[in-house]
């Protein structure tokens, strides 16, 4: 199977186009389409804008959809610094200003939920509504995560060991360059309810990016910025904008975490889904987003 370029991938999504936009000292790759209220879609690790490809044709019927490779991701540039989420939120704010939008809706998955939290906290005047997808923003509770799997949960139990692994400088690039599929297949197989929801082509899209040493380095810097993200999170007031959390089945912590940072939020769970809800349950996820955002 050959590696697909962004242009080849976009050809499968009629009405969408590629753009590269300079903001805040870096260049972001975006995929945009549609008209109406702007809806910004930020992916998480270890993915790219393609994580939203099943949702985009559904969302574009109602919104101007802009899927973004955040700083260090996919076809965006990978500078040596600037990966604290407060600065990455500034990237997104400058993108909003570039387009001339008065207000936007914004959604983030995985690592990007910390970016959208920072964005909404810093720039509430341009934030209409916010959607957190299966992950809560980084705060000091990150230091309470276990370094070893909890006892009694069985050999197959999952715990986020990769948060610590990605903190290590220089080593992950040496281990994973040109063989990131070993790690990514493990994550996709173990963090989905149905591992077949991510096809071989989907996986190749992601591994072709994360096979590169500079991409591994940049992605790990999202994690290495956690200490600064924790400090910044303490300075944010509660969000006054409407917030929706969409959680995978069994994820009860998202609702609890959002209650600490938001005045007005609701949270739903997508039955039969694992962590990668946009690809596992795209129709249900899109319907929940549309109902909330309209």
pLDDT for 148? 79
Q: Do the Cβ atoms of 100 and 114 come closer than 8 Å?
A: no
pLDDT for 146? 79
Q: Which fold has domain 7-145+230-293?
A: Rossmann fold (3.40.50)
Place of tokens 């040596």: 80
DSSP 8-class letter at 273: -
Strand partners, 40: 66, 106
- 191 three-state secondary structure: coil
Model pLDDT for residues 137-172, shown as the tens digit of each residue:
999 988 888 777 777 665 445 678 999 999 999 999
What's the rounded mean pLDDT across residues 96-115?
A: 98
- What pTM was estimated for this model as a whole? 0.96
Residue 17 has pLDDT above 60, yes or no: yes
Q: Do the Cβ atoms of 135 and 42 come closer than 8 Å?
A: no
pLDDT for 195? 94
What's the rounded mean pLDDT across residues 276-284?
A: 98
Percent of the residues in the chain that have a pLDDT greater than 70, as a whole number: 98
Strand partners, 67: 31, 41
* Segment (H or E) for 4: none
What's the rounded mean pLDDT across residues 78-85?
A: 98
Strand partners, 20: 29
Among 115-124, 135-144, 215-224, 277-286, name the one with the lowest average pLDDT. Answer: 135-144
Taking the CA atoms of residue 178, residue 182, residue 184 and residue 189 in that order, the dihedral angle to the nearest 10 degrees is 160
- Smallest CA-to-CA distance from 254 within 135, 144, 121 is with 135
Those residues whose C-beta lies under 8 Å from the C-beta of residue 174, and which sit 6 or more positions away, are none
pLDDT for 144? 86
- Smallest CA-to-CA distance from 48 within 208, 222, 280, 185 is with 208
- CA 52 to CA 10: how far, in whole Å? 12
pLDDT for 158? 63
Domain segments of the chain: what residues? 7-145+230-293
Q: Do the Cβ atoms of 109 and 274 come closer than 8 Å?
A: no
């Amino acid at each position: 199977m050959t590696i697909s370029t962004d242009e080849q991938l976009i050809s499968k999504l009629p009405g969408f186009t590629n753009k590269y936009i300079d903001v805040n000292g870096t260049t972001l790759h975006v995929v945009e389409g549609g008209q109406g209220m702007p809806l910004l879609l930020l992916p998480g690790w270890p993915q790219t804008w393609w994580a939203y490809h099943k949702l985009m044709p559904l969302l574009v019927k109602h919104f101007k959809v802009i899927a973004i490779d955040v700083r260090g991701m996919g076809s965006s540039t990978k500078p040596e610094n600037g990966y604290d989420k407060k600065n990455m939120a500034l990237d997104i704010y400058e993108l909003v200003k570039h387009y001339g939008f008065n207000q936007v809706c914004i959604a983030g998955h995985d690592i990007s939920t910390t970016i959208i939290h920072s964005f909404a906290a810093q720039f509430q005047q341009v934030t209409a509504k916010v959607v957190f997808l299966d992950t809560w923003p980084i705060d000091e509770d990150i230091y309470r995560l276990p370094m070893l799997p909890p006892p009694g949960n069985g050999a197959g139990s999952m715990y986020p060991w990769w948060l610590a692994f990605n903190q290590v400088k220089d080593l992950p690039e040496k281990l994973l360059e040109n063989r990131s599929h070993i790690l990514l297949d493990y994550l996709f197989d173990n963090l989905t309810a149905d591992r077949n929801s991510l096809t071989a082509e989907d996986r190749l899209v992601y591994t072709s990016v994360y096979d590169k040493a500079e991409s591994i380095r940049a992605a790990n810097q999202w994690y290495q910025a956690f200490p600064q993200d924790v400090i910044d999170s303490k300075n944010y007031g509660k969000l006054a904008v409407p917030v929706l959390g969409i959680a995978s089945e069994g994820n009860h912590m998202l609702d609890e975490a959002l209650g600490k940072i938001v005045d007005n939020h609701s949270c739903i769970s997508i039955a039969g889904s694992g962590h990668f809800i946009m690809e596992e349950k795209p129709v249900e996820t899109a319907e929940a987003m549309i109902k909330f955002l309209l």
